[in-house]
Amino acid sequence: MAHFDDTDILLQEVSTRDGLQNEPRVLSVSQRIQIIDALTKAGLRRIQVGAFVNPRLVLQMADSDSVWLGLDHNNHNVRYTVLVLNERGMETAIKLKLDHIEIYVSASETHSLKNSHIERKRALDNAVRMVRQARQAGMGITGGIMCAFGCYYEGSISQDNVCAMASRLLDAGATEIGFADTTGMAKPQDVKSLISLVDKLAPLEMIGLHLHDTHGCGLLNLEAGLESGIRKFDSSVGGIGGCPFIPGAAGNVATDKVVELAERLGFRVGIDLRELRIAESIMRSFLDSLNH
């Protein structure tokens, strides 16, 4: 596992998965690769490039395998990850010999049914089985919990239940754990409270946060995460993204805003803001061109 100085922030760019899946327009494989290459040039060391999911349900993620195959994998300073939610996706990941995958399950029963079409317990059992498969195949795995800070449909979510789910994923072999504020309901105190519990499960260097700015608290929550010792965060150029199965859940924390905040607080991010904005403009131009 890589170790970083306590002032180093490690961002994972999710615009090319979480971002694009919430857009009504569908970009081509070539367009997605161009965006990812531009993000790499900006200094992003981790990029979520797609998802191995049913393309009939999430058309924007169709051909994610072709996107992954079209990338330059000679740059070992960059980790390209893919979201995997089912057995077929796992088969694809193993066939392509991915280095790292992400497996997320929801802490909300209702959201699990809408997002994955199976109840939460069964989804967690499936995730545990896939984590074990991935470990046997030599992959790194981020085991993630969606709706970790609340659910649009169910309201508050038990932090003890969230930690119990994370514990099962860790026991199965997850090398990192991510907690997602999928509905943007978290407040800074919620973040600090959950991290204080998670600290008993795993070293904080294994923990990441995926925050949405739906209600304007994204950067405040990120700062609370920094104060709690978290150094890994997901972000998205232009703040695009969200969950297509939750009304009004749009708005990941914007990568440039995260960089500006982190640097203002004295942290090192290693992102070239000029190149980052070029990457954002490329994405915007592709999306805008599909409106005409």
pLDDT digits (tens, 9 = 90+) for 165-218: 999 999 999 999 999 999 899 999 999 999 999 999 999 999 999 999 888 899
Q: Which residues of the chain have pLDDT under 50?
A: 1-4
Burial (CB count within 10 angstroms: exposed 0-12, middle 13-18, buried 19+), residue 1: exposed
Indicate whether 76 belongs to any domain. yes
* Per-residue pLDDT at 66: 97
Q: Tell the residue number behind the tokens 């997002």, with chain if given.
A: 115
Contact yes or no for 84/101 (Cβ under 8 A): yes
Indicate whether 220 belongs to any domain. yes
Domain of 157, CATH number, reads 3.20.20.70
Indicate whether 65 belongs to any domain. yes
Number of domains in the chain: 1
* Per-residue pLDDT at 5: 56
Of the candidates 71, 48, 51, which has an alpha carbon nearest to the alpha carbon of residue 62? Answer: 51
Categorise residue 268: left if φ over 0, alpha if ψ from -120 to 50, beta otherwise. beta
* Per-residue pLDDT at 4: 41
Of the candidates 292, 277, 290, which has an alpha carbon nearest to the alpha carbon of residue 42? Answer: 277
b/e burial code for range 192-203 (CB count within 10 A of at least 16 → b): ebbbeebeebbe
Contacts of 11 (CB under 8 A, 6+ apart): 44, 45, 46, 232, 233, 234, 235, 255, 258, 259, 269, 271
* Per-residue pLDDT at 242: 66
Indicate whether 93 belongs to any domain. yes
* Per-residue pLDDT at 1: 33
Number of Cβ within a 10 Å radius of residue 171: 13
Indicate whether 1 belongs to any domain. no
* Per-residue pLDDT at 55: 86
* Per-residue pLDDT at 232: 97
Q: What is the domain range of residue 111?
A: 10-289
Indicate whether 3 belongs to any domain. no
Convert the pLDDT of each residue in 212-232 to its tens digit: 988 889 999 999 999 999 999
- The residues that are catalytic are 243
Indicate whether 4 belongs to any domain. no
